[in-house]
């Protein structure tokens, strides 16, 4: 006959008398956040590349109208925001499901060099926002000699 001994671990939830130890699994069972996962409202996915003359930003903005996109440039700080409105509808047999979402996507980042905001351009085509942000002349890093 096998000997079944269990070592006592003072860090277990039972020994700590943690009444909420399974609360996460309760919420996971209902999956309350599933409808909102389709809308990543806090994060705009983007790529930033650099040439000698400019920074080029390509940001995914699926389903967003160009009128709802705002871009601001302040020195080397760039902010992209957009108002997002989405509605989904699904019918299965006699049941119908409909969801509406309204929110704002927002992304702010710092470039390594100041941008010439007078020459900066923004276009939005096929759900992709493209920013061309020319570098401001003389905005490179300056190396100091320690004396």
pTM confidence score: 0.60
Q: Decide yes or no: CATH 2.60.40.790 for domain 42-134.
A: yes
Q: Region 71-76: what's the mean pLDDT?
A: 92
Half-sphere exposure of 120 (CA within 13 A, CB side): 21
Q: Nearest CA to 78 among 102, 41, 42, 48?
A: 48
- Write out pLDDT tens, residues 56-71: 999 998 888 889 999 9
Is 139 in contact with 113 (CB distance < 8 Å)?
A: yes
């Amino acid at each position: 006959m096998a000997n079944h001994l269990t070592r006592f671990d003072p860090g277990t939830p039972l020994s700590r008398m943690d009444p909420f130890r399974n609360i996460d699994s309760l919420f996971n069972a209902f999956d309350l956040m599933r409808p909102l996962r389709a809308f990543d409202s806090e994060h705009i996915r983007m790529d930033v590349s650099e040439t000698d003359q400019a920074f080029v930003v390509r940001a995914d903005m699926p389903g967003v109208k160009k009128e709802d996109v705002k871009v601001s440039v302040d020195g080397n700080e760039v902010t992209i925001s957009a108002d997002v409105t989405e509605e989904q509808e699904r019918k299965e047999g006699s049941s119908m499901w409909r969801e509406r979402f309204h929110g704002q996507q927002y992304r702010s980042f710092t470039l390594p060099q100041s941008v010439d905001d007078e020459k900066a351009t923004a276009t939005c085509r096929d759900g992709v926002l493209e920013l061309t942000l020319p570098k401001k002349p003389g905005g490179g890093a300056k190396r100091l000699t320690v004396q």
